[in-house]
Amino acid sequence: MDDLVLTTVITDTKASEGPVPSLPGVSRLGLDGLIEQAREAAGLGIPAVALFPHIDPARKDAAATEALNPDGFVPAAIRRLKADVPDIGVIVDVALDPFTDHGHDGLMQGDVIDNDTTLDMLAQGAVILADAGADIVAPSDMMDGRIGVIRDALDQADHPDVMILSYAAKYASAFYGPYRDAIGTASALRGDKRTYQMDPANSEEALHEVAMDLDEGADMVMVKPGLPYLDICHRIKTEFGVPTFAFQVSGEYAMIQSAGQNGWADSERLLLETLNGFKRAGCDAVLTYGAIRAARLLKG
Ligand SMILES: NCC(=O)CCC(=O)O
Ligand SMILES: [Mg+2]
């Protein structure tokens, strides 16, 4: 229970609320729905909720302007959570991809991502999220140097207690398919993210990325996806001994749910068995779309 993170997709558009077809059992939530789930999660002993926004395409542009709007949808969602469900911690991505009309994680210069301007925006964005009340900010792209600039910016803005969870080992994965559908970036994404996410065949690079991010001030690190990369979780935990999170991503959860819906396997057992795998591998916490379900099952 206390190592589950409720993973939610929230939407700023009433018409987009409701079930995500490629992610059975998961709905895009408006703010009222978010509060309802967060309350239930808190009641079950789940310590934190992670927010992933679906943003109205009309609010997206090449410069990800909306990512720096202090009155935007995500800061509003954080404020509402903090006011209505003070018992649950809030984890929120620091990332531009929900807000770019091209779907990439950074600002583009032609075909390449401009690392420096992107870093500057990430630092400003992190402060906006911390001002709104986020407990943990999670830089979710793989831009070099982002942890250091975000740490500095948070400290300067009087947020020394806001922690950084780095998506340090993020693989270029087919398992993100349903998520891109859920937040509406699947059709927007031009090209792919293999230039900045890691090659699934690579393991040394993951450890190197973790070492760099810890050195820059990350408090916790994340491995994503989870199940196909349990060796990476285990190596990180063993080598660095830091809080290690795994993300049971959308494609992993969709496989479990669709097998269950088709009667091919028992999805409740699949869920608990995979979560046990994360624990055996040494993970301290798991982000999963099935957090509430798992917690209910664990409570019996
Ligand atoms: N930055 C968050 C994600 O990319 C989520 C991936 C998934 O659930 O597939
Ligand atoms: Mg890196």
Q: What is the pLDDT of residues 224-276, one digit of tens each?
A: 999 999 999 999 999 999 999 999 999 999 999 999 999 999 999 999 999 99
Residue 127 has φ and ψ, to the nearest 5°, of: -65, -40
How far, CA to CA in Å, does 114 sit from each of 21, 103, 106, 246?
A: 34, 14, 7, 28
Cα 140 to ligand 1 centre (Å)? 9
Q: How many angstroms separate the alpha carbon of residue 7 from the centre of ligand 1? A: 9
219, 259 Cβ separation under 8 angstroms: no
Average pLDDT, the chain: 94
- How many angstroms separate the alpha carbon of residue 177 from the centre of ligand 1? 9
Contact 46, 87 (CB under 8 A): no
Q: Using one digit for the tens of pLDDT, what is the confidence trace for 155-171?
A: 999 999 999 999 999 99
Catalytic-residue membership of 14: no
C-alpha distances out from residue 220 to 73, 86, 162, 247, Å = 26, 22, 12, 13
Is 190's pLDDT higher than 80? no
pLDDT in tens, 113-157: 888 889 999 999 999 999 999 999 999 987 889 999 999 999 999
CA of 166 to the centre of ligand 2 (A): 9
Closest-approaching ligand to the CA atom of 172: 1
In this prediction, residue 46 has a pLDDT band, given cuts at 50, 70 and 90, of very high
Amino acid 143: pLDDT? 83
Kindly state if the Cβ of 249 falls inside 6 Å of ligand 1: yes
Q: What percent of the chain has pLDDT over 70?
A: 97
Query: Where does residue 174 rank: exposed (0-12), middle (13-18), buried (19+ CB within 10 A)?
Result: exposed
Q: Is the pTM of this model over 0.90?
A: yes
From 14, 82, 193, 224, the catalytic residue: 224
- Asked if residue 52 has its Cβ within 6 Å of ligand 1, the reply is yes
CB-ligand 1 contact for 176 (6 Å cutoff) = yes
Q: What is the pLDDT of residue 188?
A: 60
Q: CA distances (Å), 5 to each of 90, 236, 247, 265, in order?
A: 10, 20, 9, 24
Please work out whether the CB of residue 271 comes within 6 Å of at least one atom of ligand 1. Answer: no
Query: Which of 92, 91, 94, 98 lies closest to 66 in space, CA to CA?
Result: 98
Q: Quote ipTM for the complex.
A: 0.94
Specify the number of domains making up the chain.
Answer: 1
pLDDT in tens, 7-22: 999 999 999 999 999 9
Residue among 23, 224, 256, 287 whose CB has most ligand 1 atoms within 8 A, to mutate: 224
Q: Which residue from 229, 75, 258 is spatially nearest to 167, judged by alpha carbons?
A: 229
- The residue segments making up the domain with residue 10 are 4-298
Quick one: pLDDT at residue 187?
64
- What span, in angstroms and rounded, lies between the C-alpha atoms of 24 and 20? 7
Looking up tokens 């991503």 gives 249
Phi and psi torsions of 190, nearest 5°: -100, 130
Ligand nearest to the CA of 208: 2
Cβ neighbours of residue 215 under 8 Å, at least 6 residues apart?
Answer: none
Q: Does residue 196 have a pLDDT over 90?
A: no
What is the per-residue pLDDT for 236? 98
CATH number of the domain where residue 250 is located: 3.20.20.70
Ligand with an atom nearest the CA of residue 103:
1
Which of 136, 179, 248 has the most ligand 1 atoms within 8 A of CB, as the residue to mutate?
Answer: 179
Of the given ranges (13-17, 108-112, 167-171, 189-193), which has the lowest mean pLDDT? 189-193
